Amino acid sequence: MTRSGVLVMDKPQGFTSFDVIGKLRGILKMKKLGHTGTLDPMATGVLPVLVGTAARACDILPDETKAYRAGFALGSVTDTQDSSGKVLETHPVHVTEADLLRVIPAFVGQIEQIPPMYSAVQIGGKRLYELAREGKVIERPARSVEVQRITLTAYYAETGCGVCEIVCGKGTYVRTILHDIGQALGCGCIMTALTRTAACGFTLAEAHSFADVESAMASDGCADALIIPTDRLFAALPALHLNETQANKYRNGVRLDLARLRGLTDASRWRVYDAAGGFMGLADADRENGVLRVYKNL
């Protein structure tokens, strides 16, 4: 059986994130799989899949920064905010590169973003895309999201088409950023292509196709050669190495005396390893009571 860890997939167009998980379950013959962030069917690129016990880390990832390369076309508004949707408006485009560069900074930083109707956001117990498919449009509260950077890498004024690179935090809709830029320019904008180039510290260079995974399974009976160790997800945290006695206590959920641990820093959370260097999980310091608590066994 394939070991636990991270399998970085290069999601093909036309697949949902759940489709990728379903296909991998069949290839790997494993049920315990999870992904680190939804990608729309139109999108391609980096989709880290958590394999085996690593799936327990889905809700505790410290780095949820994502990077995208997005194609766009000015002059249209669609119900999905991308080229797959129904055209609602068309406008003439007289936008220069300077116009774009003047507007883009307003969408960098902590911004308020209204999620699109065609999204998995739940309101009143129902997914927005379910309501959208019924022809309904409802009021959606704006949400605060973080956009670290938007870089215009290509723009062709004669067609109103271009490409930009966006680095953002969890819950950010790239197509909504482009839609809102189009609104600010007064001509509308839709996303025409989307590739996620990085997520959770992993890049496209580390991503694999279904064919890669199938080949590994055919040659080795497992995909271990493609699996990245789970602790890579928490590389930003300091490491804490326990002796054999302490490691056994950690595995059993026993609190450890902070005063007896070596190599502690002022950090509040650590990556925890056993005496042989095996990654066990995460632990938090309870300095008020002088103990180290198990945060998550992985």
> Which active-site residues does the annotation give?
40
Distance CA 71, CA 82 (A): 10
205 to each of 115, 129, 195, 208, how far by Cα in Å?
A: 30, 32, 13, 9
Torsion sign over Cα 220, 222, 227, 229 = negative
